[in-house]
Chain A
Amino acid sequence: AQTVTQSQPEMSVQEAETVTLSCTYDTSENNYYLFWYKQPPSRQMILVIRQEAYKQQNATENRFSVNFQKAAKSFSLKISDSQLGDTAMYFCAFMNGPGMSSSYKLIFGSGTRLLVRP
């Protein structure tokens, strides 16, 4: 069974600085997708960024970028120029790609609570 591990329960960063959140996963599949979701105090789940496993190029979305290391099964999120509005829980998630046994469910890590300090 696939698992997702986020080993940092809490992180703190100064406004305008850069922070990296770690995520590792375990799978025997070759085709899959990885996601980072943000959950602010409102508890709404907001998609931050996604990565297809077959793509070697790391995904970027404005101030958010990932470091995808397929061999190491690592998928870290880098937030540049941190803003107060980035304060939230961040969840890493895994989804199997198309296949006979795929149900496209998301498997989430336990989350990292990020605090951006003014």
Chain B
Amino acid sequence: NAGVMQNPRHLVRRRGQEARLRCSPMKGHSHVYWYRQLPEEGLKFMVYLQKENIIDESGMPKERFSAEFPKEGPSILRIQQVVRGDSAAYFCASSPPPGLAETQYFGPGTRLLVL
């Protein structure tokens, strides 16, 4: 049973470019969470999605950031017009529907570096 998959593992972008981060949840998991970890800090919640539905985006910046989890395919975190402050590790986690099991399992993360 494959774990949570994220790609790319490392991404380098120049200021002003777009970054697309992908997350495939564990088999049987229908809920996806995105977290950001700045250097030497803990993880901060960004957004929580179900298939075709954003449940909670309270941690996501209002501008330049968007997330989706389509009916088919991986969840995508999109950052437009990246700036140096976007450099961080972005982690995706997945879980079964809450109420069945609340534990979130994490992917290996995508390290974004903005030059």
Contact = CB atoms under 8 A, between A and B. Distances in A.
B102 A104 contact: yes
Q: Which DSSP category, helix, strand, loop or mixed, fits chain A's interface?
A: loop
A108 B93 CA distance: 14
A33 interface: yes
A106 B35 contact: yes
Interface stretch (A12-20, A43-51, A67-75, A76-84): A43-51
Nearest to A46: B106
Interface string B83-115: 000000101010100110011111011010000
B108 A106 contact: no
Contacts of A55: none
Contacts of B55: 103
Q: Which DSSP category, helix, strand, loop or mixed, fits chain B's interface?
A: strand
Contact of B103 (A50, A108, A111): A50
A45 B42 CA distance: 11
Interface in B19-56: 31, 33, 35, 41-45, 48, 55-56
Most chain A CB atoms below 10 A, which of B59, B91, B104: B104
Interface of A: 33, 35, 37, 42-47, 50, 91, 95, 97-98, 102-111
19 contacts: A43-B89, A43-B108, A43-B111, A44-B106, A91-B43, A97-B102, A103-B48, A103-B55, A103-B56, A103-B58, A104-B98, A104-B102, A105-B33, A105-B45, A105-B59, A106-B43, A106-B45, A106-B104, A108-B35
